[in-house]
Each structure stands twice: as structure tokens, then as C-alpha cells.
Amino acid sequence: MTQWVHTDARFVSWEATADVHAIFTTRQGGVSASPFDTLNLSFNVMDLPTDVTQNRYRVMEMMGRNIFQLVMAEQVHQNKVGWASDIDASKGALTSADALSGLDGLLTRHSDIVLGMGFADCVPIFLSVPSHNIVGLLHAGWRGTVKGVQLAAVEQLKEQGIDPREIEIGIGPSIGPCCYEVDGKVANQFFQVMGNKAPLTPHGEGHYFLDLWEANRRQLVLAGVPETHIDISHLCTACHEDQFFSYRRDQGKCGRMGGFICMNR
């Protein structure tokens, strides 16, 4: 059984198997100034690039890894999942210009690669297939969730002959059902895809609270991932201002946390 632990102010970690190293950073322990204080990991939010670079170096050091092993995805709120290999090392690490384009999901079999993505409310989905030495990371905001980025990842793995029952999932800190209000337009897309199983709670006329953790969990279970293999951190980014940036709470003016996963060598 996997679990989420928070023993260091700078990150929360997903304890999967001994072979996997997966962390989700908090906003603490970096060098960026307000409103990106302090551990902002995104080059795309008007923060000083030199500060972001220094923050990324710090995080890779925390993981005991080298920044040139990092591979980042462009993240376009779609559902494309791709494989990162040796030749992708350092792509997106020191500039977002060469991040793997058009992808919201990354998978790798390479133990010298660290997969990374930025988050500030969207759901980070960490993935491990211990029997095949594969790790993965998905970016699932409401768009990615309803477009099925989680199903796309399972499909990619099935194409490699992997049984979904072998997949372990960690759903990390993101905006929770306590804080994520959506309008009828967003809600309808979830009703269309998930029917009456859509995890929406009515909240006033034409508004709902959306549970992105449950939506992703349910889709993954439908795709064949055992319920006992899905571990949700239940940490809401909007509720914990001291720990996390939140795009919704901060009205877009904030930094990004990072999700990172690699295999232990």
C-alpha cells in the first residue's frame, strides 16, 4: 500500500515502492519574491528566470538528482501522453521553450530521467508500474480530467502489454471539492462523460462543487486500475495558503509547485 507523507516543509512525497522517488513541492524553501514566494518552479508566470532556475536546482538537489536529468512537458490541458527517453534529458529543464510539446502526460522506463511538471490547483497524478520499471506523471486540470488524460496513460501502458492491475497511482495536492466551484458549462461536460457518476455537488443556481480527485479516481478504476492501488493525498491547494500556491485562490497571480518522479537507481 502506497501513502503520502509530509516530513519536510519543502515537499510532500508519495511513498510508492522503494524503487520510486516521487515528490510534490510546496511553496517553501525557494528564492522567489512575492507573489511567487518562494519556491516557484515555472518560467511562465512573470517571475525572474534566474530565481526559477535557482529554485529548480534546489529541487533537483533535494532529490539527489542533476538538473540535466529533468524532462518537463509543455502542459496544454489536453490528453496526450508521451514517452521520455535518454535523448530527452534536460528538455524543459532550464527553459520552457524546449519542453516536450503538446503533452500533459509523461512516462519513462529510464532510471536516469526525472519527469517534472508544474501545478497550482490542477491535479498531479503520479504513476508507477513496479513490475516493468516504469514511472509517469500526468497533469489533470478539469479539462485534462474530462478529456481523459488518465485513460490515455492507461492505454499507452496497455499498448506495451501492461495489465492495468499492475499500475499504482498517487493523486497529489490540488484544489479540493471543498473549494472548487464550477459553472454549469463545466459541469455539463462531466455529466456527458461520467453521467450521474460525475462527482458534482450542487451549490446554488447553476453552480457546483467539482471533486477532481474522485473524477480521476473513478475513471482510473473504470480503466482497470484496482481501487486499492489509488492513493489520494486529500491536500487542497486552495485551503493551505502557507503551503501551496492556488491559481483560483490567488486569482492567477501565483507561482507553480512541481511534481517530480523518477526511479531510484
Nearer to Zn ion, 238 or 254 (CB): 238
Nearer to Zn ion, 62 or 179 (CB): 179
Nearer to Zn ion, 151 or 186 (CB): 186
Considering the complex, what minimum distance in angstroms separates the CB of residue 247 from Zn ion? 13
* CB-count burial class (<10 Å; 0-12, 13-18, 19+) for 257: buried
Considering the complex, what minimum distance in angstroms separates the CB of residue 61 from Zn ion? 31
Considering the complex, what minimum distance in angstroms separates the CB of residue 239 from Zn ion? 3
Cα dihedral 63, 173, 188, 156, rounded to 10, equals 30
Read off φ and ψ for residue 137, nearest 5 degrees: -145, 130
Cα–Cα distance measured from residue 21 to residue 37, given in angstroms and rounded to the nearest whole number:
25
Nearer to Zn ion, 9 or 178 (CB): 178
Residue 142 DSSP SS3: helix
CA–chain centroid gap for 132, Å, is 21
Count the alpha carbons within 13 Å of 3 in the hemisphere toward its beta carbon: 4
Residues making contact with Zn ion (CB under 5 A): 176, 178-179, 236, 238-239
Considering the complex, what minimum distance in angstroms separates the CB of residue 237 from Zn ion? 8
Nearer to Zn ion, 144 or 176 (CB): 176
Q: Which residue is nearest to Zn ion (CB)?
A: 236
Q: Which three cell numbers stand for residue 16?
A: 510508492
Residue 17 DSSP SS3: coil
Considering the complex, what minimum distance in angstroms separates the CB of residue 20 from Zn ion? 27
